[in-house]
Structures are given as C-alpha cells and as structure tokens.
A = this chain, B = another copy of it.
Amino acid sequence: MTEEIGVGMVGHAFMGAVHSQAWRNVHRFFDVPLTPRLAAVGGRDAARTKEAAAKYGWAAAETDWRALVDRDDVHLVDICTPGDTHAEIAIAALAAGKHVLCEKPLANTVEEAEAMTAAAEEAARRGVRSMVAFNYRRVPAIALARKLVADGRLGDVRHVRAVYLQDWLSDPESPMTWRLRREKAGSGALGDLGAHIVDAAQFVTGSLVTGVSATLETFVPERPDGDGRAAVTVDDAAVFLARFSSGALGTFEATRYALGRKNAMRLEVNGSRGSLAFDFESMNELSVFEADGPEAGFRRVLVTEPDHPYVGAWWPPGHLLGYEHTFTHEAADFLTAIGDGADPAPSFADGLRVQRVLAAVEESAERQSTWTTIGGTR
C-alpha cells in the first residue's frame, strides 16, 4: 500500500459523483504513487452534504469550502462547483499548499483564468500541482488519436471538424437551471460543451486555435422557473470557424438542441496522409483512415487492446469502458504527477488558453462574426 493523500472535494452533484467514483477506485487499477483517502466533501446544505458523504464514501462533510481547504487531512482539493466559484477556491487552496484539480471550464472569465494561472505557476514553484479537468483527454480513443497525429500518421493536418451535440433543451418548456444563468455558468453551450471540443481539438492535433469567426444563438429566451419564467442569459448554441497554428481550418459547433443526439462529442481530423474520426456516443471506437492503396478505408479500431492508452489496467479486448473511466484515468494521471513531482497536463495555462478561445468566440459574435484572433496565444 502506498502513502495516502487526503482528498477534499467541493461540490457533490453530477461531477462530484463521478469524481468520487474515481477517487474510490483509482488505486485498484492503476499503480499510483499515492492512495487517495476521501477525507471530506463540501457543500452548502448540511443535510445534503452529509448524505452525499455517506453515499459516495467521504469521511467528513463540510459546509464551508474554506474549512474544507484548511483541514489538515486534506492535501488535494477537487473543485466540482459551478464556474463562478472556481477562481476563489482554487487560488485559496493553492495558497494553502493544496494540490488542485479544477473542473472545466477553468473559470467564467479570462481575468479569473489569468489569476488562477498565475497562482498555479507560483504554486508549482513550491511543488504544489494543479490540473484542469478536461476529462475527454482521458478517453483511450482520444489519447490514441493524439498519439497517431504526434507520430505523423496523419501527415499535415488540414481540416478539423468538431461538434458537441446534446438535446436536453430541445423542449422549450424544460425548466430553468443554473447552467442557463450567465452569472453562475459564464456561458451556455459554449463553455459547457464548446470548451471540451476546443481542448480536445488542440490536444489531438497538438496545435492551437489562433482565430475564430463566430455566431451565438439563444433559441428559447425564457424558461419556466418556479411559478413564473426566467430569462435565459447564456447562449443555447455556438458555431464558429477557426484557424489553427498549424494552418488547419476548423469548424466547431456546440449545442443543446440537436434532437436525438445525447452526448455526441465528435471530432474529425483530415491530414495529408490520414484521417481520424471519433464520436463519444461510441467512445470505445476510433475511426482511422490511412492512404494505402485501393483497399483503404476507415478502420473501426476498437480501442480496447492492452497496448492502447489506459486500457491495460482494465479488461480484455472488446470489454468496453464507460464515461466514468475517463475520470479514473484523470485521477491516476494527477496522482502520478504529484508523486513524480511533475507538472500535470492539462495545466491551468491550458485552461486559460481555452478560455481565451471562448472569449474570442463571444467577441466575434458581438462584432458580426468578424475574424477575431486569440489574445495572448502562446
């Protein structure tokens, strides 16, 4: 048994549930240098937080995130709250010498993300690690996709098309939620879904988005809220064209109105020697094309072989993994980086880069879609 590391998690909704599963099980499958101890979970409502602690296996419940951060038995703070609280919690935790895993998008504004990145870089000099939770990097098929591009199997990348399609807002009468309020969520489909595909596209191609032309839309401007109706203050859908530092052309679309598509996070990349395509609704598969004669064709690679990224820790070929495993992989990578004294990826700086793309999208949309370069791309 390796040394324990105390984890404190803030937030216990959907993200809290999957993160808990990851912390509870990661060391059962991966040879991590630190074994997580589920020290405390934080939430505003005492009763519900206590219930969450019992359900998900946390030793203690805290109603004040500052108390949670300050606990001696918490060495790693996992932030699973809405975006408006990320900066404050992360900066405080890093200052307190706690490693930080922060859900995406990193923040609600570029300014917050900049402050967080500065704090993270300062903390790193003290050996305190931070990571932003772009869990889709840990889908084995996406990790394999990156490897194929990095190995030159696709040649020069020319096209990227990325969509993230959900449909849970298709019904105009589905009720208001915090995800539709700008002050809580920062943005709508853009930050929730668009952030994932911007990060995934950059991760897979190893190239950065340098400029965008964008349009945003709010199809349903107000929704039922209690007895009345509340204004939706974020985008329902975001579409944008993009250029990558490599010269590749990109198209992006994030929406919660693609009826029938439940979690269709899709990425297609075309290069001069090969292509690949991915759809999260078939997350164990990667389509790969390599130009090699008349019997070429897109191969359906079942990414379940022991040689594939992360897969060796799990089951035999053809025995599929699910959504939650991406978080287990994320936890393994973070614990390994902490144990190795290395900076984990994606860093807060990576999260900031994505935030800048999102900000450029909003700016372009406000300026009649005029091309907008990403400030401070590095």
Measuring CB to CB, which residues of chain A are less than 8 angstroms from any residue of chain B?
Answer: 1, 14, 18, 20-21, 24-25, 28, 54-57, 144, 148, 158-159, 161, 163, 165-168, 170-172, 213-215, 217, 219, 237, 239-241, 243, 249, 251, 253, 255, 257-264, 268, 270-275, 280-284, 288-289, 291, 294-302, 304-305, 307-308, 314-325, 364, 368-371
Q: In the docked arrangement, what's the CA distance between A253 and B308, Å?
A: 29
B20 touches A28 (CB 8 A): yes
Contact A297 to B288, CB < 8 A, known contacts A1-B54, A239-B249: yes
B295 touches A288 (CB 8 A): yes
A251 touches B251 (CB 8 A): yes
Q: For residue A277, which residue of chain B has the nearest CB? A: B260
Q: In the docked arrangement, what's the CA distance between A99 and B318, Å?
A: 31
A270 touches B263 (CB 8 A): no
B282 touches A282 (CB 8 A): yes
B304 touches A262 (CB 8 A): yes
A159 touches B321 (CB 8 A): no
Choose one: B166, B260, B275; the contact of A259 (CB below 8 Å). Answer: B275
Task: Tell me, rounded to whole Å, the shortest Cβ–Cβ distance linking A349 to chain B.
Answer: 27
Interface centre among A264, A295, A321, A368 (most CB of B within 10 A): A295
B260 touches A289 (CB 8 A): yes
Chain B residues, Cβ within 8 Å of A217: 249
Task: Tell me, rounded to whole Å, the shortest Cβ–Cβ distance linking A47 to chain B.
Answer: 16
A159 touches B258 (CB 8 A): yes
Q: In the docked arrangement, what's the CA distance between A321 and B20, Å?
A: 16
Contact A301 to B297, CB < 8 A, known contacts A163-B161, A283-B320: yes
Interface centre among A243, A255, A289, A369 (most CB of B within 10 A): A369
B301 touches A305 (CB 8 A): no
Task: Tell me, rounded to whole Å, the shortest Cβ–Cβ distance linking A358 to chain B.
Answer: 17
Chain B residues, Cβ within 8 Å of A148: 295
Q: In the assembly, how many copies of this chain are there?
A: 4
A272 touches B172 (CB 8 A): yes
Choose one: B28, B214, B295; the contact of A55 (CB below 8 Å). Answer: B28
Query: Could you list 23 examples of A-B contacts with CB < 8 Å?
Result: A14-B315, A24-B24, A24-B25, A144-B295, A165-B270, A170-B270, A239-B251, A258-B268, A259-B271, A259-B272, A260-B275, A262-B304, A263-B317, A282-B282, A284-B320, A288-B295, A288-B297, A296-B301, A298-B300, A315-B324, A320-B320, A320-B322, A322-B324
Q: In the docked arrangement, what's the CA distance between A255 and B165, Å?
A: 23
Q: In the docked arrangement, what's the CA distance between A315 and B323, Å?
A: 8
B318 touches A302 (CB 8 A): no
A159 touches B257 (CB 8 A): yes
Chain B residues, Cβ within 8 Å of A57: 28
Task: Tell me, rounded to whole Å, the shortest Cβ–Cβ distance linking A287 to chain B.
Answer: 8
Contact A28 to B24, CB < 8 A, known contacts A249-B239, A258-B270, A270-B257: yes
Q: In the docked arrangement, what's the CA distance between A363 and B167, Å?
A: 34
Q: In the docked arrangement, what's the CA distance between A154 and B100, Å?
A: 45
Q: For residue A262, which residue of chain B has the nearest CB? A: B318
Task: Tell me, rounded to whole Å, the shortest Cβ–Cβ distance linking A105 to chain B.
Answer: 18
Q: For residue A294, which residue of chain B has the nearest CB? A: B307
Chain B residues, Cβ within 8 Å of A28: 20-21, 24, 55-57
Contact A270 to B281, CB < 8 A, known contacts A296-B299, A369-B371: no
**Nearest 5 Cβ contacts at the A-B interface:** A263-B318, A262-B318, A260-B289, A322-B322, A213-B369
